[in-house]
Amino acid sequence: MNEEGLSTKRLVGRLLLLVVGMFGFGFLLVPIYDVMCEAFGINGKTSNSAFQGSVQGVDEERNVRVQFISSNAEGMIWSFGPEAAEIVLHPGEAHTMNFIAHNPTDRPMVAQAIPSVSPSKAAAYFHKTECFCFTQQVLQPGERVEMPVRFIVDPGLPGDVRRLTLAYTLFDVTERMAASLDLAGLH
Amino acid sequence: MSAVIDHHHDDHAHGPAKGLMRWVLTTNHKDIGTMYLWFSFAMFLLGGCMAMVIRAELFQPGLQLVEPEFFNQMTTMHGLIMVFGAVMPAFVGLANWMIPMMIGAPDMALPRMNNFSFWLLPAAFGLLISTLFMAGGGPNFGWTFYAPLSTTYAPPSVTFFIFAIHIAGISSIMGAINIIATILNLRAPGMTLMKMPLFVWTWLITAFLLIAVMPVLAGVVTMMLMDIHFGTSFFNAAGGGDPVMFQHIFWFFGHPEVYIMILPAFGAVSAIIPAFSRKPLFGYTSMVYATAAIAFLSFVVWAHHMFTVGIPLTGELFFMYATMLIAVPTGVKVFNWVTTMFRGSLSFEAPMLFSVAFVILFTIGGFSGLMLAIAPADFQYHDTYFVVAHFHYVLVPGAIFGIFASAYYWLPKWTGHMYDEVLAKTHFWMSFIGMNLAFFPMHFVGLAGMPRRIPDYHMMFANFNMISSVGAFMFGVTQLLFLFIVIKCIRGGKKAAAKPWDGADGLEWTVPSPAPYHTFSTPPEVK
């Protein structure tokens, strides 16, 4: 009986360990998800930092149409949009597109733009060497800025992709930033 | 059931304590099993009332009875209560009652924890139901509580919902640990793993599924809690998170969860069909391996719930084929049940009627599941009533009929009386007709494009929806008959023999009916 009691205790201990492990695994899924998305360029996620590598020349033979879309997340009242709806380029060329943001309110606000590329398999071939989405944007009352994104479409882009879309969603993160950082001039 | 057990006092052991405190403090697996079953039945009726509100609103097109906001709360709470409050506790109740008696154990391995895991449930569901009376109403984001609906756009009561899920999850995990410890450590001498009844086997596998995925559910609601109150951004794109990740983590829990709700029913039906076919179960070993295979596959198919969120083609293909693969072990099971019945001396008492209906209707639900597994077709079916029809076909005639079959099969053992067979058959036929009337037309309106979780619909869906509502009312009212049958059976009826079903097999039939308060204090010898 005593031996049995001990083994039950050990069994329950192991099962509890499994429970704790699976709880941890649930949280581990978060970095796994990010790593998978980045590694396979899925989910339209592009890199959060500037592209450092180089691409193999310019493919003059091919034209790729890059479209620009902007939208505001709920509650965001800035006007926000690209200077042009689309450009046609050769893979390997570096291009710049300006997005214009305007804060129409009478208070300073902070915004974060989140990019997404579709089709999602093209995301891995869309390199941003400079992007306003890498940082947060602080705009004073009534301020209007041009925000550049500089990018290269990798010549390795699969041949069946003739058109890709870069979409930005602009989020209002004023309250979040005010709460955590208390940025100068926000109050 | 208490009244009956009270009559019986073992000579050498003490009987149950008197009064209310017996139920609060009990560590007896039969008492706790009874409480689980009553609790789950109460939740079944409550969740059923919510379904009645839904079907009453959908009786005709247009907004008739309730506000859309309240309608959303009803669909959400109906799902949550039926999944976590009715089906899961009912199976834990059956496990508590039957597993120790099936393996020749005197009680569960951890009786005090058993008591605690039951009493967490009223707390969890009290909390959950109380949200309906709070400012802003209860959860209204669907039982799958996708972020950001359940975070950014949720009513303030969502925090209570999160804690209710936490508590119910802890209860399930403790129940699962208890069941594993009981099965692995308390089997009677000679009861090897491959001699265990299939109900015990399926529950062992279910318990491992619970331990593997309930903590992930706890994790995902914890992330919601942190997003809502502590400024994290797990599911908030503005802060670098991703709402799609919520769906991945949720369904990593959610898909094994649907097997948690069906595997114990597989086990019960695998006991009942041989009993009323008067033949041993065909393919016992293959049943065990098929159950294990289903459980294993359930971990690698979750994204078939998410074909339309924009996962890569390779992902869609992988999850499509993996999902279809589940049809193979499930087909093995259906084949074995049918073969068990083949050339048997069949009789159709209520448990058998529910079990046969289980096999037929669950298979229909399985086939519509195969249709949904086809990724390109799923884009048409996704979030329509076809999905509603599919999962109600696997849950109502699957899980719920499995529970009814088990209840009728073991009621004589629990109460010492035979239930009223005529009323039970009436209950079966009313449930069978009502359930099919309610859910079969949903296939058609779903294929025609009626979206789920919407309180209003296009005129062209009116006739089928009216039929569905009539069927649902019929099914709902019939469950009161079940309550009456159970109470009647507890209060009296023909005395049940120790083994009231001549074809039944198993250790539980070697003890008298009603089962004494303490059974197998001395382990039986199993050959």
Checking if the pLDDT of A187 tops 70, the result is: no
> How far is residue B392's CA from residue B401's CA, in Å, rounded to a whole number?
12
pLDDT band at A41 (very low <50, low <70, confident <90, very high): low
A32 touches B at CB < 8 Å: no
Q: How many CB atoms lie within 10 A of CB B469?
A: 21
Assess whether B166 carries a catalytic annotation.
Answer: no
Size of interface A-B (CB pairs under 8 A): 99
Q: Tell me: the pLDDT tens digits for A130-164?
A: 898 888 889 999 999 999 999 999 888 888 889 99
B111 touches A at CB < 8 Å: no
CA B422 to chain CA centroid, nearest Å: 26
Average pLDDT, chain A: 84
Query: What pLDDT is recorded for position A179?
Result: 67
User: Does the bond joining B451 to the residue before it have cis omega, within 30 degrees of 0?
Assistant: no
Instruction: Choose the mutation target among A1, A6, A12 for the interface with B, i.e. most B CBs under 10 Å.
Output: A12
pLDDT band at A2 (very low <50, low <70, confident <90, very high): very low
> How far is residue B57's CA from residue B60's CA, in Å, rounded to a whole number?
7
Query: What pLDDT is recorded for position A43?
Result: 66
Closest approach of B185 to chain A, Cα-based (Å): 7
- Among B31, B57, B227, B257, which one carries the catalytic annotation? B257
Assess whether B501 carries a catalytic annotation.
Answer: no
Contact A23/B315, CB-based, under 8 Å? Answer: no
CA dihedral (B238, B240, B244, B248) in degrees, to 10, reads -150
How is B8-47 classified by DSSP, letter by letter?
A: ---SSS--PPSSTHHHHH---HHHHHHHHHHHHHHHHHHH
Query: What pLDDT is recorded for position B340?
Result: 97
**Token pair of A19, please?**
């429970």
Contact B239/A112, CB-based, under 8 Å? Answer: yes
The helix or strand, by DSSP H or E, that contains position A166, with its residue range, turns out to be strand A163-172
Question: Considering only CB atoms, which chain B residues are within 8 Å of A180?
Answer: 231
Nearest Cα residue in chain B from A169: B238
Q: Which of B288, B293, B296, B258 lies closest to B270, judged by CA?
A: B288
Contact A11/B185, CB-based, under 8 Å? Answer: yes
pLDDT band at A75 (very low <50, low <70, confident <90, very high): confident
- Among B78, B413, B427, B499, which one carries the catalytic annotation? B78
Closest approach of B220 to chain A, Cα-based (Å): 7
Closest approach of A92 to chain B, Cα-based (Å): 25
Nearest to A171 among B238, B242, B315 (CB): B238
Q: Whose structure tokens read 């890569």?
A: B312
Query: What pLDDT is recorded for position A121?
Result: 78
B contact residues 16-75, partner A, Cβ 8 Å cutoff: none
Q: How many CB atoms lie within 10 A of CB B286?
A: 15
> How far is residue B467's CA from residue B473's CA, in Å, rounded to a whole number?
10
Percent of chain A with pLDDT over 90: 38
Instruction: Choose the mutation target among B171, B184, B216 for the interface with A, i.e. most A CBs under 10 Å.
Output: B216
ipTM reported for the complex, 2 dp: 0.87
Query: What pLDDT is recorded for position B485?
Result: 97
Query: What pLDDT is recorded for position B25?
Result: 92
Instruction: Choose the mutation target among A30, A74, A173, A176 for the interface with B, i.e. most B CBs under 10 Å.
Output: A30
pLDDT in tens, chain B (527 residues): 444 444 444 445 567 888 888 999 999 999 999 999 999 999 999 999 999 999 999 999 999 999 999 999 999 999 999 999 999 999 999 999 999 999 999 999 999 999 999 999 999 999 999 999 999 999 999 999 998 999 989 999 999 999 999 999 999 999 999 999 999 999 999 999 999 999 999 999 999 999 999 999 999 999 999 999 998 889 987 777 889 999 999 999 999 999 999 999 999 999 999 999 999 999 999 999 999 999 999 999 999 999 998 788 888 999 999 999 999 999 999 999 999 999 999 999 999 999 999 999 999 999 999 999 999 999 999 999 999 999 999 999 999 999 999 999 999 999 999 999 999 999 999 999 999 999 999 999 999 999 999 999 999 999 999 999 999 999 999 999 999 999 999 999 999 999 999 999 999 999 999 999 999 999 998 87
Nearest to B219 among A23, A172, A180 (CB): A23
Assess whether B172 carries a catalytic annotation.
Answer: yes
Max mean pLDDT range (A36-50, A88-102, B192-206): B192-206
Confirm if B249 and A29 have CB atoms less than 8 A apart: yes
Contact B245/A29, CB-based, under 8 Å? Answer: yes
Query: What pLDDT is recorded for position B253?
Result: 96
A contact residues 107-146, partner B, Cβ 8 Å cutoff: 112, 114, 118, 120-121
> How far is residue A69's CA from residue A85's CA, in Å, rounded to a whole number?
7
Instruction: Choose the mutation target among B116, B117, B185, B217 for the interface with A, i.e. most A CBs under 10 Å.
Output: B185
Nearest Cα residue in chain B from A15: B177
Q: Which of B260, B351, B261, B271 lies closest to B102, judged by CA?
A: B271
Query: What pLDDT is recorded for position B5?
Result: 47
Given strand A79-82, what is the order of strands in its sheet?
A: A79-82, A94-102, A144-153, A126-131
Secondary structure, 3-state, A68-128: EEEEECCCCCCEEEECCCEEEECCCCEEEEEEEEECCCCCCEEEEEEEEEECHHHHHHEEE
